[in-house]
Chain A
Amino acid sequence: MTEHRVGTQEEWQARRDELLEQEKELTRRNDELARKRRELPWVPVEKEYSFETDRGTKSLPELFEGRSQLLIYHFMFGPTYEAGCTVCSSIADNLDPNAMHLKARDTTLMLVSRAPLEKLQAYKQRMGWSIDWASTAGSDFNRDLGFTHTEEELKPFLEGEIPPTVKQMAEASGTDPAGYVAEGPGLSAYALSEGAVYRTYVTTARGLEPAMGYYFLLDRTPVGRDEDGSQPHWLRRHDQY
């Protein structure tokens, strides 16, 4: 017998109707929040950055590929990594098939990482993705957004007790904790207007959850994310389940 409360269809419906009102309210707030995001001031990106891509060295405006918006996922794959971060890989699984729907909306969606392009290309092939992935090797692009940390910044963290999750994640990516945490995940958005690039939005940490489609779905299942239970680190690369 389940420990969960069991009810009749009528009881469920009554509770569900109440919840539906709240869900709708949350959707409206979400629309409002999206509007506020669009009201953020656009910041001109005046610095020149260069990116290594499958089609050669490109500038930031060139990454738009003729579209007016650019959405970049900062994928944790540092120079010392042998494989991409597991969680970022699960995010890229979600992003990859959606890139074309965004292109249809005048938006280029792509990944950037600090590892050399050859490593990214090999890993992309392993994962079967077709999304564009540029290397920022030799560029300050990630650093300027706060998604790359120096040894000095990390010193207090690395001298303390390293959490088991970090050790586990570093090992899964074929690097040590210092190499692993030098990278941080993030999402950044840009507009291209009359030849000038503007940065419009940047987020990290739980701000990335909208890119993690599985959480959205798990939040609608009976048990939910259930990450406090026996399997707090359940995510694997899709070829390792």
Chain B
Amino acid sequence: MTEHRTGTREQWQAAYEELLKVENEHAERSEELAKQRRELPWVPVDKEYSFETDAGKKTLAELFVTLLCFSRAPLSELQAYKERMEFPYVSTYGSDFVFDFTLALTEEQMQGHPEVRQMIDDPPDWLKEWSEKVGAPLELGLAESPTWIAFALEDGVVYHTYSRAAPDRDFVVPYYHPLLDRTPKGRSDEFRAWRHDEYEETVR
């Protein structure tokens, strides 16, 4: 017998209707925030950046085709990983872009984050494992900051409109968390996702 409270369909319905009010409120609040995001001032990006892509060097304005992943590793490394993972990818290797938009921290900037230093000096197990999996020591690995960033292109001018950095897990892992949130057990803090080609056959 389950330890969870069980009930009739009517009891579920009554409890769900209460919950639904909160879910609807939450949806309204999400919409309100989406509206406020759109009201943020647009900031013209005056500096010229160049990116290494599969189709050669591109400017920021030339990247306005799709949803992209940026990383600081050289393009050759990204291409190999992309082939494995299948997503659009651009290298910011050698560009200030990542530091100007805090997608990565310089050594100097890292000094200003004692919590990062502490994670490097005394890493929890999952972080050690992560470092091994990305094949970089934490000093280098933690310099990167997973971030959503949005731009608008209008009349040839690029505007920076929105950024959201980790550690907010929903923004970094946008999809299976909301699904797990609707299962009986929910998401769990110890859950760590693997690369999709690293799961055992039973999962794939």
A positions within 8 Å CB-CB of B: 1-2, 4-9, 11-12, 15-16, 19-20, 22-24, 26-27, 29-30, 33-44, 68-69, 71, 94-95, 97-98, 100-107, 109, 187, 189-191, 193-194, 196, 198-203, 206-207, 209-211, 213, 216-217, 219-225
Contact = CB atoms under 8 A, between A and B. Distances in A.
A19 B33 contact: yes
Given A42-B7, A102-B179, A220-B148, A16 B19 contact: no
9 contacts: A15-B40, A20-B164, A41-B7, A41-B11, A203-B182, A210-B182, A221-B152, A222-B150, A223-B152
B76 interface: no
Nearest to B27: A206
B160 interface: yes
B19 A37 contact: yes
Interface string B172-204: 001110111111111110010110100100111
Interface residues of B, number: 70
Nearest to A104: B203
A37 B194 CA distance: 26
A100 B199 contact: yes
B159, B182, B188 interface centre (most CB from chain A within 10 Å): B182
A102 B182 contact: no
Contact of A69 (B8, B35, B175, B183): B183
A16 to B, nearest CB: 6
B80 interface: no
B37 A210 contact: no
A211 B159 CA distance: 29
A133 to B, nearest CB: 17
A66 to B, nearest CB: 9
Nearest to A210: B178
B181 A6 contact: no
Contacts of B1: 193-194
Given A6-B42, A30-B170, A191 B175 contact: no
Contacts, number: 224
A11, A94, A104, A194 interface centre (most CB from chain B within 10 Å): A104
A229 B185 CA distance: 40
B12 A199 contact: yes
A193 B159 contact: no
B15 interface: yes
B2 interface: yes
B42 A36 contact: no
Contacts of B121: none
A24 B128 CA distance: 27
Contacts of A68: 185
A26 B29 contact: yes
B154 A220 contact: no
Nearest to A97: B196
B6 A42 contact: yes
Contacts of B196: 97, 100-101
A38 B184 contact: yes
B38 A224 contact: yes
Nearest to B148: A220
Closest 10 CB pairs of A and B: A7-B41, A41-B7, A210-B178, A222-B152, A193-B2, A191-B184, A219-B34, A34-B181, A222-B161, A103-B203
B182 A37 contact: yes
A20 B1 CA distance: 44
A104 B198 CA distance: 11
Contact of B178 (A12, A44, A211): A211
A37 to B, nearest CB: 6
B4, B41, B162 interface centre (most CB from chain A within 10 Å): B41
